[in-house]
Chain A
Amino acid sequence: MAVIDARDTIEPRPVATQPLSVLGRVHPAAWLLAVFLLFLPAFASNFVLTQLFGWAMILGMVALSLMFLAGYGGMVSLVQLTVAACAGYMVAIFGTSAVDAISLKWAWWVAVPIAIVIAVIFGTISGALSVRTEGIYTIMITLAIASGFYYFTLQNYTIFNGFSGFNAVNAPVVFGVNWRDPIPFYYLCLFWAAASFLAVVYVSRSPFGLALQGTRDNARRMEALGFNVTAHRIAAYAFASLIAAIAGVLLVWQQIQISPGTAGVGPVVDILVIAVVGGIGRPIGPFIGAFIYVVLRTFAVDVLEGLGLDGKRFQLLIGLGFLVIVLFSPDGVLGLWSRFKDRVLNSNSLRPGGGSA
């Protein structure tokens, strides 16, 4: 073993092939970001904590589950927000809400695990229905499931309470802490967002994650190496659904309500936009995309109205941003950034003395 260790220190491998590097080679910027996020409640307002960062981290988790499927598995699933909404609905149905006739008022530690299990089963079945298709057909099938769920919740009153859905879906009070209070809720979101992010990073280098990337690059060869490609893809949906389901529980607590519009076709497509704008190639991309999206949604209306324009045009702004990203950078904002960095480094190294960098 000593021989191997010595060889590894002499020729360091790139991060992508490092067997164990969760904390080994973290970028300094990531440490800065971590410190910033940890201490944000010290100086940020309640609005910033829950409506900006909390929401962005939740949407980021949903988009992360899409990134896992699309970036590593080559499967563009539009059902991820629906899986989250399914978990949210189950929390409202099994737990507490203002709709006494439906909500079962079970304790959170019963309702939440049940909600997550049901959402994961729903997501896995959706995956099983779509994994034999490719490209545009995967998008169509998952979109069909998502809009099916939307119309079902809209028209079903006995379980999903139709158009009005559930309000007053409150987060529980545990250990004397109300988890919907801004600061606890912020840390709750931060914990699960970070956990999902690290889990995806870790799993991407596990046999399961590597094999998923193998099916993305060449499914036929994966079969010829002994892998059951269909089973692998379905398992990837199950893993992604778990992340989306946890995000769904946080989402219903953040919004304090859930209704069919939570996972209408518009928001479902927004998740795809978030993932693509942020960058679908790396797990951090969806969070960047979600933050941009939340900031635009929150402030673009005011800015546009301040300029004397119709506030509703913020959608146009998001759409334009999407168009620009897709046209100029297939790997999202992250791609723009790394290209910018390359250009700066290159021009530096052309200058005399710049090569030292």
Chain B
Amino acid sequence: MPTTVAERLSAAGTANALDLRGVTRMFGALAALVDITLSVRPGERRAVLGSNGAGKTTLFNCITGDFPPTSGIIRFFGEDVTSFPPHERIRRGLRRTYQISALFTGLAVIDNVYLACRGVSRGRFSLIRPRRDDGLMQSALDLVDAVHLTDVKDRLVSELSYGQQRQLEVALALAGAPRFILFDEPAAGLSPTERRELVEILTSLPKHIGYIIIEHDMDVALRVVESVTMMHNGRIFKEGRPEEIESDPEVQELYLGGAHGGGHG
């Protein structure tokens, strides 16, 4: 597809990583997302906060194409991807993790990561087994190492602990050459140590890789982002820098006033 590559290259120079225009998603009569307009610069790191059912995961599903939006336009590095199936968006450098782990439970850890690496490169239909010195197998091993799962790389995913599955979930989103990643509550259910490791992974990602992270834990969220979007009832009601959001009285009342209120200062 040489023409689209050329188009992509010329568009990528100026465009935002993500551009959402009037994105709405209905589930029957329920409006899970209402007229969302959002821009994220390349390399920008942003948190999306909001109470349960605010529409955060639905926003991710629309961006990746897991569910197409009911109306609106989604651009990824300038290219209109609204009608693309998920795999076409992923091949253009988009990645995501799932709030509820979506792993291949019947396969070994290394095979899960190998599939992630294979999915964004050639030879998806190859009938030839990978050799030991296969480049993709090497990157898979490196990724497994990066999320501290080397000791269990040959175990079936179904045998992993919850925390290990969450780490594998993150590894799958880092495969290949991501340009933009969507993390859906990656820290949920992790131990304090695992949380620290996660923050380390996020902060040590190459500068050009931007991401959006959905995270209820302010200690994690506000440490790894430069901007925050607040959602409520399917709408965006506030955007700003972490300090601004934290001190905003409206936000305090709606969101931070609850369980997270006093702890962080």
Residues of A bordering B, CB below 8 Å: 1, 4-5, 8, 13-14, 16-17, 19-20, 202-203, 205-211, 213-214, 216-218, 220-229, 232, 235
Say yes or no for B172: interface residue by CB 8 A criterion: yes
Say which residue of B87, B111, B126, B131 sits within 8 Å of A223 (CB atoms): B87
Query: A199 to chain B: closest CB distance in Å?
Result: 9
Are A206 and B105 in contact, CB atoms less than 8 angstroms apart? no
Chain A residues lying within 8 Å of B64, measured Cβ to Cβ, are 224
- Given A13-B154, A205-B129, A208-B125, A224 contacting B114 (CB threshold 8 A): no
Interface footprint category on B: 35 or more
- Given A17-B110, A19-B137, A213-B107, A228 contacting B85 (CB threshold 8 A): yes
Query: B137 to chain A: closest CB distance in Å?
Result: 7
Say which residue of B86, B105, B107 sits within 8 Å of A224 (CB atoms): B86
Query: B119 to chain A: closest CB distance in Å?
Result: 3
Say which residue of B96, B104, B127 sits within 8 Å of A217 (CB atoms): B104
Bound Cα distance A208, B105 (Å): 17
Question: B65-89: which have CB < 8 Å to A?
Answer: 65-66, 85-87
Are B66 and A5 in contact, CB atoms less than 8 angstroms apart? no
Say which residue of A5, A8, A207, A217 sits within 8 Å of B126 (CB atoms): A207
- Residue picked from A205, A206, A235, most chain B C-beta under 10 Å: A206
Secondary structure dominating the interface of A: helix
Query: A132 to chain B: closest CB distance in Å?
Result: 13
Are B130 and A207 in contact, CB atoms less than 8 angstroms apart? yes
Say yes or no for B90: interface residue by CB 8 A criterion: yes
Query: A39 to chain B: closest CB distance in Å?
Result: 31
Query: B231 to chain A: closest CB distance in Å?
Result: 22
Seed contacts A206-B127, A226-B176; 17 additional CB < 8 Å A-B pairs: A17-B111, A20-B131, A206-B130, A207-B118, A207-B123, A208-B124, A210-B107, A210-B111, A211-B119, A220-B86, A221-B102, A222-B115, A223-B66, A223-B87, A224-B98, A225-B115, A225-B119
Chain A residues lying within 8 Å of B130, measured Cβ to Cβ, are 19, 206-207
Chain B residues lying within 8 Å of A232, measured Cβ to Cβ, are 124-125
Bound Cα distance A14, B66 (Å): 34
A-B pairs with lowest CB-CB distance, top 9: A226-B119, A225-B119, A217-B104, A223-B86, A221-B102, A226-B90, A226-B120, A207-B126, A17-B108
Chain A residues lying within 8 Å of B170, measured Cβ to Cβ, are none
A-B contact pairs, 22 of them (CB 8 A): A17-B108, A17-B110, A19-B131, A19-B132, A202-B127, A207-B114, A207-B125, A214-B104, A217-B107, A218-B103, A220-B86, A221-B103, A222-B119, A223-B86, A223-B90, A224-B87, A224-B90, A225-B87, A225-B120, A226-B120, A227-B124, A232-B124
- Given A17-B111, A224-B66, A226-B90, A206 contacting B129 (CB threshold 8 A): yes
